[in-house]
Structure 1
């Protein structure tokens, strides 16, 4: 009997904490939050650089597939591969930034609700 009362009290407390914390922002809101703050400009520079590398890599790939000689294909294929890989690496480097922002937002919400003990 006592265990059921404890479980009910804990469940009620958890529901109240979750209500106070609120919902997690959507993906696009999280992406937009990377561009705010004192170092938001670095995220913007990385995004622009990644986009330029991607389009340059696609252009080089297009020229690679249109090449008729092996040397010409190498001259376009290697830069294409390098640019596309670098664009992917830059994109993947932004995911930890988003995750850190998410964790900080959760910690701030917990501190604001007084749930930290």
Structure 2
């Protein structure tokens, strides 16, 4: 069965437009509910975290080094360090963890 690519593009455009237009049409008044306002405030952060966390664990050669980088980044962020320092610390943690595991493999400890 052969389908036209233009049908797919049109359908994608309609869905994309609907996702953006429906909230504008549905919420004509100001949202006053504190619960709903706080829910909407945190949705982007939750969505970003749910997409980022699995990538952190799978971006490195070993999930252990990814988890170590995550812990180091959390610690640095908790201590209110700059974003650049947090990112560099996480990269350094991955580098050291990978080198340590390579050394352990070379010495046949793992």
- Which structure has more relative contact order (CA 8 Å, sep 6+)? It is 1
Q: Is TM (by shorter chain) over 0.5?
A: no
**Larger relative helix fraction:** 1
TM-score of the pair, normalised by structure 2: 0.31
Bigger-Rg structure (1/2): 1
TM-score of the pair, normalised by structure 1: 0.30
